[in-house]
Amino acid sequence: MRIVLDLQGCQSVSRLRGIGRYSFALAKAIIRNAGEHEIWIVLNDLFPETIDLIRAAFEEVIPVERIATFSLPSFSLYQGARDWRTRAAEIIREYAIAELEPDLVHISSLFEGYVDVSVSSVKAYDKVTLTAVTLYDLIPFLNPEKYLTDLGFKKHYFGKIEALKRVDVVLTISAYCGEEAVRELGIPTERITNISSAVAESFACSTISEEDILSLWARFGISRPFVMTTGTVEPRKNLEGLIVAYSKLPSELRKKYQLLLVCQATEANRIKLFDLAVKHGLASDDLVLAGYVSDKDLIGLYTACHLFVFPSLHEGFGLPALEAMACGSAVIASGATSIPEVIGRDDALFNPLDLQQMADMIERALSDGDYRQSLKDHAAVQVRKFSWDATGKRALQAFEKEYEARFVESARLKRTAEARYQSLIETLTALELPVTEADFATGADAIAANQRAGRRKQILVDVSVLCENGARSGIQRVTRAIVRQLLSAPPANWEVRPVRLDRSVMLYCYANHFLHTLGMGDRSIDGDDEWVDSQQGDIFLGLDLVADCVPHAEGWFAAQRRRGVNIYFVVYDLLPVRYPNWFPEVIATDFPPWLTTIGTIADGLICISRTVADDLMTWLDTSSVERARELKISYFRLGADIESSQPSTGMPDNANIILAAMRERPTFLIVGTVEPCRGHAQAFGAFEQLWARGVDVNLVIVGKAGWGVGELPDRLREHPEDGQRFFWLQGISDEFLEKVYEASKCLLAPSHGKGFGLPLIEAAQKGLPILARDLSVFREVAGQSAYYFSGDADGDLAAAVEVWLSLQKKGSVPASTRLEWITWKQSAEQISKVMLQDAWYRRWQSK
């Protein structure tokens, strides 16, 4: 079966209460015990702040592509069934889930939605798919004068009651709850399964030191051994009854034990409870009220208390009693509703309305050591009867039973994608409610976002800079080469679509015009750059560097993550954050927020070398990046077959003269834009020293003048050796660069920092030896296939060149032909393997 778990109960305000904890634990248990069943989780995108947290909580137990979101039209609260958007949201939710083609849908919390944006319904649109619901209790239904005083909420609640009657499988958290559903609502017994409940693993017996006990006492205002209960301040919890019963204890027992109520009381309720205690003769320190208590402290209080009393009048299950028993507490409790199922011992139960009987049992538990010890011994046995795995298995068995009974009928009634869509439109059209064009528009957007059937998954490759100006910088050469490879050989069952950022609105659109200029990809795609239409499971690959704008587009990326799009960025290096003085102010200013943004919004970062990946991990440890989920880090190698990157062509008129001059003497070649980080100034100074000493060598620089090199460009252009033993070639084609490589004797790589070092690879392809600065990334790329130098003085490099020339004469320079390199096709395959096969190098988690 394909089982879809609607976990809005873990998204709404209920996530902070018992329903949220139950929903979470049951889902985990179902997944653990699913066997061959395929489990999906669906979440409501109107709760954006919860989606990452839930994905983080489940991604270790379920493939992340099976944690989907559904998009809904925004709607106003408190509107109820007479509001078009509210009704449309119910129908669109069912349609979105039907697009997953489930066999059964389980709703963790049916009764929410009036005061928040939770949306649930049963067979409002999809009459075929089996629906299951967890029923926690019917307390509001049985006590409307207390819980249903708001007429709007009352109508909402009773609408959910009617929906509950249409449910195929009702999972109750106690046998008593199921009996109530049969008795009060007339739901057939065969539709109901008691799956019970359990406690979290953290609630367990442990040893607590005297020091820890005293610390707990100090934090909560406790001054002596105590009797304890937990519960909200409302009539059914019977906290007032417990206070009165406690007042009936002999005075010597009250002097020995305090009464602690963990109840998060409002100020008005605190006054009411203390006034009641005084009225019945309790001393000022006999009663202690605790507000919010963390799970850690609650476990400590359960463990340290002398007795736990649970006086409730009505419970769906009675989890606090079981939690206390799990922590080794002696527990006595009310004999009402479902609570006896939890306690499992008649002589530990009292009539919650008979306050004297309650007092007598408390007195016995405090005075009779053997009885109290027997309660503790019983708790250790009783608590083992409850486990989340058993609860999850019962739920699955109920699903399987109903599915087997209805399989033939369900299969016969299944709709095609086209039929589902047509039925959706008909159902929405049939809503006889006031509606506006804006309502239709927001509904249409949600429907489009939820359509899945028949769509191929997309890899959205960012080419924003490349498609705007065709830049030939190193990054754009990589972008062009990788996108061409992905387009020519897309991963199986994936569609590759170049995309670009529209800077006017900070939203991404398909770069269709650019795609057609490449002459690749699907020729049927329209030439207009329409807005990106993404779906659950798509991939965004930030291949181009758009550092100035990505932080401003964070809202778009956040929306994609909520939708279930996996977001990855390529990181070329970290030099602008490590050495900002090497870069123009705009880059030094834009790069750090870009890096912080992608560290926050991305699922993974893919670096162009292991060295960059390690640098990135180090930077993250000192950064301000905060995230709920791990950040995956990996790397790939750049390709080096220049013919696959759509190389430029063309030769200058003086090409033959330059190439002939290069062949007259040993030529050292530097490839890269003239910038501070590339080491050109040191290199030129070194060669000036060599020429002054009569060393007959050439220096060739291939690369345009960049930023921050001061007077160096003038110095290069005006040098006496220009056109003799020095050549500065700016803006040359890839075709001419190939010839320059072939005419050179040595590639010189003097960069102070690099992300990869592609010229080393290109040189090795020509058999050109390499003289490189001793950088870890160059060691990673070239290994033993290069000769390395260190030192920042001109003389350091001049000396290294002379040593290299000496070794070259002896035939002893390291042979670059041993350097391993890959093609751009292989490079693209490496990126695909990282993204599609989870081939990650390291993972980082914010502290």
d(CA 742, CA 763): 9
User: Class of 650-820 per CATH?
Assistant: alpha beta
Give the number of C-alpha atoms closer than 13 A to the C-alpha of residue 366, restricted to the C-beta side: 26
CA 760 to chain CA centroid, Å, is 38
pLDDT of residue 411: 72
Q: Half-sphere exposure (CA, 13 Å, Cβ side) for 11? A: 31
3-state secondary structure 393-445: HHHHHHHHHHHHHHHHHHHHHCCCHHHHHHHHHHHHHCCCCCCCHHHHHHHHH
Q: DSSP letter at 632?
A: E
The whole-angstrom separation of Cα 645 and Cα 738 is 14
Give the distance, in angstroms, between the CA of residue 376 and the centroid of all CA atoms in the same chain.
42
Phi/psi-derived region of residue 238, left when phi > 0, alpha when psi is between -120 and 50, beta in every other case: left
Q: At what angle do helices 794-809 and 680-692 cross, to 10 degrees?
A: 60
Mean pLDDT of 691-697: 96
Judged by DSSP in three states, 283 sits in coil
Q: What is the pLDDT of residues 728-748, one digit of tens each?
A: 999 889 899 999 999 999 999
Q: What 3-state class would DSSP assign to 343?
A: helix
Side-chain half-sphere of 387: how many Cα atoms within 13 Å? 8
The pLDDT tens digits of the residues spanning 256-285 come to 999 999 998 999 999 999 999 999 999 999
**Apex 806 CA angle, 801 and 810, nearest 5:** 140
- Do residues 140 and 159 touch, judged by C-beta distance below 8 A? no
Domain extents in the chain: 2-198+410-449, 210-382, 457-639, 650-820
What does R_g of the chain's alpha carbons equal in angstroms? 36
As a CATH number, domain 2-198+410-449 is 3.40.50
State the greatest distance between any 2 C-alpha atoms of the chain, in Å, as a whole number. Answer: 113
Structure tokens at 728: 């500065």
- β-strands 631-635, 842-844: how paired? antiparallel
As a CATH number, domain 457-639 is 3.40.50
Which amino acid is located at 515 in the chain?
L
Chain centroid to CA 754: 31
Residues 178, 183, 185: CA angle, nearest 5 degrees: 85
Summary mean pLDDT of the chain: 93
Residue 756 has pLDDT above 80, yes or no: yes
Which residue type, as a one-letter code, is found at position 485? Q
Query: Closest Cα partner for 842 from 630, 577, 536, 524?
Result: 630
What is d(CA 420, CA 56) in angstroms, rounded to the nearest whole number?
32
**Predicted confidence band at 415 (pLDDT cuts at 50, 70, 90)?**
confident
Distances (CA, A) of 408 to 128, 169, 190, 191, 404: 11, 17, 19, 18, 8
Amino acid 707: pLDDT: 81
The arithmetic mean of pLDDT across residues 89-104, rounded, is 96
Write the pLDDT tens digit of every residue in 455-468. Answer: 889 999 999 999 88
Residue 596, token pair as written in the block = 């912080």
**DSSP code for 201:** T
Confidence category of residue 644, pLDDT binned at 50, 70, 90: low
**Distance between CA atoms of residues 676 and 680, nearest Å:** 7
- C-alpha 256: how far from chain center: 51
Name which of 290, 307, 286 is nearest 298 in CA terms: 290
Is pLDDT at 472 greater than 70 in this prediction?
no
Percent of the chain with pLDDT over 70: 98
What does the pLDDT read at residue 122? 97
CA dist 652 and 47 (Å) reads 61
DSSP string, 764-805: HHTT--EEEE--HHHHHHHTTSSEEE--SSHHHHHHHHHHHH
Q: Say how far apart CA 820 and CA 743 lie, in whole Å.
A: 22
Query: What are the tens digits of pLDDT across the range 346-396?
Result: 999 999 999 999 999 999 999 999 999 999 999 999 999 999 999 999 999
Taking a C-beta distance cutoff of 8 angstroms, is the pair 150, 116 a contact?
no
Confidence of residue 591 (pLDDT cuts 50, 70, 90): very high
**CATH for 210-382, among 3.10.250.10, 3.40.50.2000, 3.40.50.2300, 3.40.190.10?**
3.40.50.2000
Q: Starting from the edge strand earliest in sequence, which strands make up the sheet with 104-107, in order?
A: 67-70, 38-44, 2-6, 104-107, 130-135, 169-172, 192-194
Q: Using the structure block, give the residue that is written with the tokens 């051994």.
A: 225
In this prediction, residues 21-36 reach a mean pLDDT of 96
Which distant-in-sequence residues (6+ apart) come within 8 Å of 360 by Cβ?
A: none
What CA–CA distance (Å, rounded) separates 415 from 452?
14
Helix, strand, or coil (residue 647): coil
Tens digit of each residue's pLDDT (9 = 90 or more) over 69-79: 999 999 999 88
Structure confidence by residue, pLDDT tens digits, 536-582: 889 999 999 999 999 999 999 999 988 889 999 999 999 999 999 88
Tokens in use for 744? 């050179």
